Amino acid sequence: MDPKLDPFTTLLDLKLGTFDPERGPVQVRTQEDLRGFFQADPPRPDELVYRVMPVPVPTENSEIQCSTTVLEPGTVGDEYYMTKGHFHAVRDRSEIYIGLAGEGCLVLATEDGRHRVEPIREGMVNYVPGGWAHRSVNVGDEPLVFFAAYVGDAGHDYATIERDGFPVLVCRGDDGPVVTDNPHYRP
């Protein structure tokens, strides 16, 4: 075959999640960007919640997209800071996470309402099979940093999550994180 791309190399800071050189524009998500994903309205709309640093390649199933995510510590209402979460637009596409720093949860859900909550920590590898929506949550006091790699044409379906939510919420409790049923799941 005639290769479509040339090889490239970039240096990943394993604590900060940054790439040197950067390979694509950093995507910034504030509390305002997550309006409708948290149960409560954002109290400080301009506050940074997370950044995604991508290594873009063509969005084809022959390629592997990857990125790092840095999710700040914090809460909106009782809910810990989290990513929007998504199904892949091409539902059967899978993904791998590698935890780099901090303390988090990976919340997963199927379209028929099953859910799982897995830990994200330095050195942990999480496998996200096709058909599972996924959201990461920072339950610690430091930034949660993880690397993700996924099939190139997976795409992101945020609208289903914005409409239905996840079956469970991860909230700050008196003795640490508490996973509770989401009262607004699929109203």
What gap in Å lies between CA 182 and CA 132, rounded to an integer?
A: 17
Query: 95 or 103, CB closer to Fe ion?
Result: 95
Residue 134 identity = H
Task: Name which of residues 66 to 95 contact ligand F6P (CB under 6 A).
Answer: 67, 69, 83-86, 95
**Rule CB under 6 A: which of 34-53 touch ligand F6P?**
52
Contact 161, 84 (CB under 8 A): yes
> β-strands 115-121, 19-20: how paired?
unpaired
Q: Which does 84 bind (CB under 5 to 8 A by kind): Fe ion, ligand F6P, none?
A: ligand F6P
Site size for ligand F6P, by CB under 6 A? Answer: 12
Q: Does 126 bind ligand F6P (CB under 6 A)?
A: no
With vertex at residue 19, the alpha carbon angle to CA 170 and CA 147, rounded to the nearest 5 degrees, is 35
Q: Which stretches of the chain are DSSP H helices?
A: 159-164
Smallest distance, ligand F6P to C-beta of residue 1, A: 28
Task: Take residue 141 and report the two structure tokens written for it.
Answer: 């006091």
Question: Toward ligand F6P, which CB reaches closer, 89 or 178?
Answer: 89
Kindly report the backbone phi and psi dihedral angles of residue 35, in degrees, each rounded to the nearest multiple of 5, phi listed first. -55, 130
With contacts defined by CB under 5 A, name the span among 10-18, 44-52, 87-95, 102-110 that binds Fe ion.
87-95
> Applying CB under 6 A, which residues contact ligand F6P?
52, 67, 69, 83-86, 95, 134, 148, 150, 156
